[in-house]
Amino acid sequence: MTARTSKWDIWSSAISPMPAKRSKSEHDTAVRHAENLRKAVLAAEEQVKRLEYWSNVKGMADEDALVHAERLPKDSAHYARIALRD
């Protein structure tokens, strides 16, 4: 151990070695790859939101549910079906 190297420097480099130096093109490729992954995750999250929405709509249609059943006129055929079902 030289005067310039402390015990702390040796210990910290042993537990977290510094990454090898990258060339500019390797760095640019890694940045582009990371950005593409981020965009893919955002697109997947958006797709999941759309699928959840349409799944909820399908569930409501399967159950013959209305979002605002209270707005339906009492003499409508749909209201009669709901009243008979309950």
Kindly list the domain boundaries of the chain, sorted by start residue.
24-85
Distance CA 36, CA 29 (A): 10
pLDDT at 28: 92
pLDDT at 37: 95
Distance CA 45, CA 66 (A): 27
Spans of the chain below 70 pLDDT: 1-20, 64-86
**Alpha helices (H) in 21-62, listed in sequence order:** 24-62
Look over the chain and give the mean of its residue pLDDT values, rounded to a whole number. Answer: 73
Distance CA 10, CA 44 (A): 43
pLDDT at 55: 85
The pTM of this model reads 0.44
Provide CB contacts within 8 A for 22, sequence distance 6+. 30
